[in-house]
Amino acid sequence: MGTLRTRGVIWVVCAMIAGVVATWGWTLSQYRWSTHLDAAFLSGLLLYDTLAENAPTPPGVTLTELSVDQSALADQGRFNALAAMSPPSFVTQVSVLGQFPDEFSGARLSIAVVSPDLQYPVADISADGSPGPAATLGGVTRLLASYCSDPVLFARYGTAQWVRIDGDGVWGCSAAPADLRLPSAIGLFIVMALILSTVLETSSFFRDFAHALRERRHQGGPDEYQSRGPVELRETIDAVNHYLGIERDILAERAMILSGVSHDLGTPATRLKLRSALITDDTLRGKLNEDIDQMTQMIESVLTYTQSEISAEAPRRLSLTSLLESIVDDYRDVGKPVTFIPATGLAVVRDATVFESRPTKGTNVNEAQRIVVTARPVGLQRAIANLIDNALKYGRKALVTVEATSDVARIVIEDEGTGLGDDDMQRLIAPFERGPNTGHLQGVGLGLTIVSTIARQHGGTLTFARGSTGLRAILTIARLG
């Protein structure tokens, strides 16, 4: 499809050519029409001399004297019958005074214009500032030439005989020049529309790829993106595909190594436990078993963290309310003090209208019963379970609530009496960080790190705040992909 530079040059050249052609067509039409109307005006001047002084007939004009019977019809104003046009036809009458200043001493030129299409607006007649009846008749002929029609003129100067004037070669449709103004404007509009659509199409390639790359962690994505669009974008996509391949191979190799280490350590750990059973000292045997369990747990936690980074699970639509209820029910079945309070309503922000000066907030109760999100169910379940486990370890109880808007869902897990502050909890998100109050509690310091990673995969964050009974862990995820 060419480079952006090539496309830009082509667009600019096409726009310049279209502008030049449209300007040329418009200017040429203006010049031709001006020349055509000037020629019609000049014919009117000469025609007046022909009628008043028997001067030669102007080129393109034919005069035919009417018979006695036809003149009688003209005196009665029955010009439709004289023109022999199929009805309906329109008659426009014009009266032009002679060269003397008063109408009693000057001869009057009576003109009747019979047109099959329209009645001419004689009030628009202009003599271009030239006084006299000849200029007035020139204004009439120029007015006739301004419209596409084939009128027939009947005229009488003073008391002379009525004459029929045919001037299709001067003011008829066949004499009018081709008007290129409208085609020029339409052609320029079409060219600009094509250029604009091409620009928008090119822009959409970049916008769609940026959106797909931005939402990759949340919605998932292909192993390789399709290379399309201009050369610069295709090169960028190829580079991203190469980077994704390297990253995917590194994470897969890391997971494979950790999985192998976990598997290989399982056998000696089992042997150590069997051999520790032979130790008669109960205290020493208990400490040795704790060390073995902690070592095994550390390997499994690192493996879980690496698998969450790989993010191999495909996202799908699910009911967040149902997922939370099932997780809490599992804890309650084994006697854990975990309580779930479902949302009472979905907060909806409505845009301002002509009757409201600012946006307003409302509540949708029905939507709260089915908070649907696009998420990875296994990963999200692991994150929620980790937060509940932390609340039970350090705060004795866990209260689970959910809040939702049209864009995000917030899972709030509040414990009872954790002595840590917000800053301490934000620090503990880092890998292998544990709080000062852990004491003899088991753990390797990766639980919150895994939760934070899963939150980012769902387009959200993990934050902390003080609650009414203890510390609140707030897991925010995007609802829709």
**Contact assessment for residue 39 and residue 53, using Cβ atoms and an 8 Å cutoff:** no
Neighbours of 281 (CB within 10 A): 9
CATH 3.40.50.2000 fits 315-478, yes or no: no
Q: How far apart are CA 268 and CA 292, in angstroms?
A: 10
Residue 418 confidence class, pLDDT cut points 50, 70, 90: low
The mean pLDDT value for 325-341 works out to 91
Give residue-wise pLDDT tens across range 230-280.
Answer: 888 888 988 988 888 888 788 777 767 766 766 677 677 777 778 788 788
pTM for the predicted model, two decimal places: 0.56
Helix (H, G, I), strand (E, B) or coil at 395: helix
Percent of the chain with pLDDT over 70: 77
Neighbours of 53 (CB within 10 A): 8
Q: How far apart are CA 428 and CA 393, in angstroms?
A: 15
Residue matched to tokens 């045997």: 285
Residue 440 confidence class, pLDDT cut points 50, 70, 90: very low
The mean pLDDT value for 383-398 works out to 86
**Is a pLDDT exceeding 60 seen at residue 32?**
yes
**Is a pLDDT exceeding 60 seen at residue 127?**
no
**Is a pLDDT exceeding 90 seen at residue 96?**
no
**Is a pLDDT exceeding 80 seen at residue 417?**
no
- What is the DSSP track for 136-147? HHHHHHHHHHTS
**Contact assessment for residue 464 and residue 472, using Cβ atoms and an 8 Å cutoff:** yes
The mean pLDDT value for 368-393 works out to 84
**Is a pLDDT exceeding 90 seen at residue 23?**
yes
Q: How far apart are CA 29 and CA 243, in angstroms?
A: 60
**Is a pLDDT exceeding 90 seen at residue 31?**
yes
Q: How far apart are CA 398 and CA 412, in angstroms?
A: 10
What is the pLDDT at residue 185? 92
**Contact assessment for residue 95 and residue 108, using Cβ atoms and an 8 Å cutoff:** yes
Mark 419-439 as b/e (b = at least 16 C-beta within 10 Å): ebeeebbeebbeeeeebeeee
Residue 131 confidence class, pLDDT cut points 50, 70, 90: low
Mark 146-177 as b/e (b = at least 16 C-beta within 10 Å): beebbbbbbbbbeeeebbbbbbbebbbeebbe
Helix (H, G, I), strand (E, B) or coil at 102: coil
| Residue 197 tokens, joined | 């659509």
Residue 427 confidence class, pLDDT cut points 50, 70, 90: low
**Is a pLDDT exceeding 60 seen at residue 57?**
yes
276 half-sphere exposure, CB direction, 13 A CA radius: 18
What is the pLDDT at residue 355? 47
Least confident of 293-297, 374-378, 476-480: 293-297
**Is a pLDDT exceeding 90 seen at residue 358?**
no
Residue 123 confidence class, pLDDT cut points 50, 70, 90: confident
Residue 85, burial from CB neighbour count under 10 angstroms (0-12, 13-18, 19+): middle
317 half-sphere exposure, CB direction, 13 A CA radius: 5
The mean pLDDT value for 362-376 works out to 66
Least confident of 366-375, 380-389, 451-460: 366-375
Least confident of 159-173, 244-258, 292-306: 292-306
Q: How far apart are CA 13 and CA 4, in angstroms?
A: 14
- Domain residues of the chain, as ranges? 4-175, 215-312, 315-478
The mean pLDDT value for 89-111 works out to 72
What is the pLDDT at residue 311? 57
**Is a pLDDT exceeding 60 seen at residue 352?**
no
The mean pLDDT value for 426-455 works out to 61
| Residue 429 tokens, joined | 């998100």
- What is the DSSP track for 212-246? HHHTHHHH---SS----SSHHHHHHHHHHHHHHHH
